[in-house]
Structure 1
Amino acid sequence: MQKDHLFTRRRILLTGAAALGAAGAAGVVVEGGGTQSPTPAPVPGPQARQVLGPSAFRLRPLTGYGPPRPVPGRPEVRHEPILRLSGRGRHMVLTFDDGPHPDYTPHILDTLARYDVRAMFFVCGEMAVDNKGLLARMADEGHVVGNHTWTHPLLTTLDRGEIRSEMERTSDVIEDAYGERPQWFRAPYGAWNRAAFQLGADMGMEPMAWTVDSLDWTAPGTDTVVDRVESGAAPGVVVLSHDAGGDRSQSVRAIRRYLPHLIGSGYHFTVPRRRLG
């Protein structure tokens, strides 16, 4: 569990970097590929919710979501990460960072499978290399695996060569275990810089941030995690949670509660389309 303790310590020291990356450096994807001013993320805490009737649609991964790619095989170099996905209807994206972890990730995958939901997992290479079977399961069950660097460093403190190594090594292990190279990248702590955007594009990856932060890594209690996700629910939002980096039992319990509630409220869960060619 030494890696878990290191993750937790780094997160405590760099909470400010996460807030800056998520709120200050992110844009919103809109139809046509442009950007607009960021929409403030919902304030965590209890808020009134309207519960709708049960959904009449079976959940399945959708295509057609995600930013346009003007050059086949290589995304454009962005200056802001993607905060949310455009599209019609009450669709949301669930994402999980820092794994995979043998004690927590399987339980999250079990819950997603129970409700036929696909999610995104931004994995760290040092965790993935020891848990390749979980990446293979993600591939089999239709989840999207993204790159979250090898050791979860603060990229703004590294030189270009070090950033490249962190990203390339992780993409290599993902390709080996998942079956294809990742097409999405998330900077640790939400701390982006020019090199991360440029190198990510060179490696065929789009940068993704988040709209709703569950802050589950602070272990605020299962009820609080559930409330933050449910209160932040809205069309197109990207929810940030974690399946490693510490004790994630609250995250495991939380998804078992908020997922059926949101489905019953009429929300559908999707993942971005995979690039063709």
Structure 2
Amino acid sequence: MKRRWIKSLLIGISLLLTSALSVDSIMASPDHPYHFGFKKSKNGQLPSINEEGFKGIVDRHGAVFLGDTTKKELYLTFDNGYENGFTPKILDTLLAKKVPAIFFVTGHFVKEQPELLKRMAQEGHLIGNHSWSHPDMTTVSNQKIKDELTKVSDAVQQVTGQGNMRYLRPPRGIFSDRTLAVTKDLGYTNVFWSVAYKDWDTKVQRGAKYAYDSVMAQLHPGAVILLHSVSKDNAEALGMMIDEARKQGYEFKSLDQLPKK
């Protein structure tokens, strides 16, 4: 009886050790996927990714989610997966307010909206890469990642004459140690964000005030603000966001003015 109990105990310990090793192996894998998230800024405190489990690889590969947190500077970034009729209004507001931004575009947007793409470039905005077909890049090969990004950069250059694309927003916000390494080797800085809210669902738009309140509640020095151009609320609230941020002493900067790591 005692011998059987000891045997059962040893089997149990063995299973626990195997399970622990398996978890460690998964976490250590360069292909372990992470979905970007952060502890939001609240009451003026800075946001944080310290508890998300990926800060080490983000830092190691020079990816950014914050600017200089000692300065009241803001960086406006837009994800343009497709056009929903609001990008012209966004561009009008940026032009009127003299605010720079970056637009992360997909292959679909490039193909369908060449005139908007030209306008972005002509009005001094940066154009970033959001991949050709918006895949989860942790599930595709290194060559596929290169193809996805090259197709966008080549198409943007053909339409705008603007080459040397330098900034990437990982599609779906999903990344791994490998994808950050591969894209860095291709010359990209991965750009995440430190201010965001659920604005991408076009079926759940709650009005300009909701968009305004959601962004302003998170504002902090060095903020990289993520907005989706498909949101009617964002287009209507953008001017108010800019005006209030400036009243609070903030300046809007281009990603090219980010502190170098």
Q: Provide the C-alpha distance between the structure 1 equivalents of 2:98 and 2:80, rounded to a whole number of angstroms.
A: 23
* CA deviation vs aligned residue, 1:55-101 (integer Å, no higher than 9, x gap): xxxxxxxxxxxxxxxxxxxxxx9436311112653110111002462
Instruction: Normalising by structure 2, report the TM-score.
Output: 0.72
2:192 to 206, 209, 214: 209
Match for residue 140 of structure 1 among 108, 115, 122: 122
Q: CA 1:132/1:203 → structure 2, altered by over 3 Å: closer, same or farther?
A: farther
Instruction: Give the 3 Å change call, closer, same or farther, for CA 100–144 of structure 1 in structure 2.
Output: farther
Residues 49-60 of structure 1 aligned to structure 2 (within 5 Å): none
Runs of 4+ in structure 1 off by over 4 angstroms are none
Counterpart position of 2:215: 229
Identical-pair percentage: 29
1:155 touches 1:188 (CA, 8 Å); kept in 2?
yes
The SS at the match of 1:137 is helix
Preserved CA contact (<8 Å) 2:131 2:148: yes
- Choose the corresponding residue for 2:137, options 152, 155, 158: 155
Matched, 1:113 2:95: yes
The CA deviation at 1:224 is 2.1
Distance in 2 between residues matched to 1:205 and 1:272, nearest whole Å = 13
Bigger Cα Rg:
2
**Could you tell me which amino acid in structure 1 is paired with residue 213 of structure 2?**
D
Aligned partner of 1:209: which letter? Answer: F
**RMSD, aligned CA:** 2.6
TM-superposed CA distance for 1:202, in Å, is 2.7
Q: How far apart are the structure 2 equivalents of 1:188 and 1:90?
A: 28
Do 1:82 and 1:209's aligned partners in 2 also have CA atoms closer than 8 Å? yes
Instruction: Count residues with an aligned counterpart.
Output: 209
Residue 274 of structure 1 and its aligned partner are, at CA, apart by 7.4
| Structure 1 residues not aligned, in runs of 5+ | 1-17, 24-39, 49-76
Report the Cα distance in structure 1 between the residues aligned to 2:37 and 2:147, rounded to whole angstroms: 24
Q: Which residues of 2 match residues 1-277 of structure 1 at below 5 A? A: 20-23=35-38, 40-42=39-41, 78-79=60-61, 81-86=63-68, 88-99=70-81, 101=83, 103-178=85-160, 179-218=162-201, 219-222=204-207, 223-244=209-230, 248-273=231-256
SS at match of 2:91: helix
Comparing both structures, which one devotes a greater share of its residues to helix?
Answer: 2
User: TM-score, structure 1 length as denominator?
Assistant: 0.68
